Structure 1
Amino acid sequence: MNCQDIEKIGKIQSDRKTANEFYSKNSEVYRSFVSMERKTYSNGELEKRYKEMIAIGISIIINCESCLEWHIKEALRSGASEKQIIEAIEVGIEMGGGPATVSARFAMKVLKYYQQKA
């Protein structure tokens, strides 16, 4: 992983903190979104880690780097293994075809970033 990748991940984290200012500005829409997000990713019939891995596959397809940074971190926090996350990335590649390999490369950088921090 190079310095540009680390800086990119850090910028995504910083931008997310800035975006969360909506929450402190009493945005009902944003509060509703955060509430929905918490409910969506809570344990139910599917454990949180599996839901996070579904989100990783979708994030590959839609090429959402911010989503990948968040959901890989949350999958790891929820007990997902490296091999499980890689399989979720592979599902995204298969569902998204060739263009999804670009997002998959970024997802692998994010996984490595968090593994190096541990």
Structure 2
Amino acid sequence: MTEHYYDPEDRAYTSVYKEQTPDILSAFAAFDGAVFAAEGREIPLKYRELIALGVALATQCVYCIDAHSNKAKAAGASEAELAEAAWVSTAIRAGGGFAHGRLAFKLAGDQHQH
């Protein structure tokens, strides 16, 4: 048997949360439902799903990438919008490396005058 980290059948393991921490699972589900409510938010659902996709790509969570790319499409996002969300995420990750590189110089005691 080949073991891997992503399998759509992994959702079955939600039962552990249901059995062991049902109160927290319920609170999380309510929170998630409020964040991604179809109506009543200032940012339209399509854009919230594109934001979620960008974050999922940055954190590299395959489960979130799967869910939010499909939810963004269902909310009306085009393939071009999915592509741009991916590039925004890529730019932010690259920018993070650049900015934290400066922190590395600072923490390493670089004598460069600023």
The residue type paired with residue 58 of structure 2 is I
Percent identity of paired positions between Structure 1 and Structure 2: 24
**Per the alignment, do residues 61 and 20 of structure 1 end up closer, same or farther by CA in structure 2, a change over 3 Å counting?**
same
Point out where structure 2 has 5 or more consecutive residues left out of the alignment: 96-114
Distance in 2 (CA, whole Å) between partners of 1:40 and 1:22 is 24
Q: Deviations over 1:39-96 (max 9, x none)?
A: 1011311111110100111111111111101110111111111111111111000001
Q: Greater RCO between the two (CA within 8 Å, min separation 6)? A: 1
Runs of 4+ in 1 over 4 A off after TM superposition: none
| RMSD, aligned α-carbons | 2.2
1:18 equivalent in structure 2: 12
- 1:19 Cα deviation after fit: 3.3
TM-score by length of 1: 0.66
The yes-or-no answer on 1:29 pairing with 2:37 is no
Instruction: For 1:22 and 1:31, locate their aligned partners in 2 and report how far apart those are by CA, in whole Å.
Output: 13
Q: Which residue of 1 aligns with 2:99?
A: none
Q: Which residue of 1 aligns with 2:104?
A: none
Q: Larger Rg: 1 or 2? A: 2
Partners of 1:80 and 1:28 in 2: how far apart?
34
Structure 2 Cα separation of the partners of residues 23 and 92 of structure 1: 30
Query: How many residues align structurally?
Result: 89
**Gaps (5+ residues) in structure 1?**
1-6, 99-118
Aligned pair partner of 1:93 in 84, 90, 93: 90
- What amino acid is the match of 1:80? A
